[in-house]
Amino acid sequence: MAVFTTREVEGMRQVVVDIERETIRARKGAMSNMRGNIDFVPRLPTLGHFLRTLFSKEARIRPSYSGSGRIFLQPSLSGYHVFEAIGGERWILEPGVYWASEGSVNLGIYRERFWPSLWAGDGILVWKTTMQGPGQVAVNAPGPVEVIDIQNAQFQAQGRLVLGHTEGLKFSSKRAARFPRNLFSGQSRMRVYSGTGRLLVCWTPYWNQYIYELMTGEDITGTIFE
């Protein structure tokens, strides 16, 4: 079983993966360096996979790393969350959240429903990564992550606090208050997750990432990783 760990150096965070005659996958461009007897295999996409790249970065090639040794992925001022994806539980991750996973984790692509995606401000052709265990997964996170359990209820968030959710939760969007009170409520539309399942929620960003984005207006993922 691959071992995923995170480390912090000079205010930056990094995922380190130790493998022993096994395989992991990671987002394109995620690798920093690797040590040992490891084969790096960027697999060619299928035609459908290629067509999706025209609309979403979620469908890009995810290279495989096979063999024995240690892999260091790219560092970031933001952070990463490592957790165990269990068999039979399908996760749907927000665009750009997937980072790396064990080879036993099945990855796929999911297109969000048209109207909820449009009203939430995400666009009309939003593709998201799906994953199903068993195996360890590392995801991009702007700050510390908490796993929230929802039992036949709703979770409402102002902004993009939710990084991913299990399949049992249905995503929608609604006004913060009834019309016309919503016009002077000071709140934008709420992102709503209804049903039974689990959520990956990031309440607050790491301070150094927040200051960087506040000062530069640049997205860290786009400026460091690719």
CA distance 221 to 226: 7
Beta bridge partners of 146: 201
**Single-letter amino acid code for the residue at 166:** T
Structural domains of the chain, count: 1
pLDDT band at residue 137, thresholds of 50, 70 and 90? very high
Here the CATH number for the domain that contains residue 216 is 3.60.160.10
pLDDT band at residue 176, thresholds of 50, 70 and 90? low
pLDDT of 37 over the 80 cut:
yes
pLDDT single digits (tens) 11-21: 899 999 999 99
Q: Which percentage of the chain shows pLDDT scores above 70?
A: 78
86 is in which domain, residue-wise? 3-225
pLDDT of 39 over the 60 cut:
yes
> What value does the CA radius of gyration of the chain take, rounded to a whole number of Å?
18
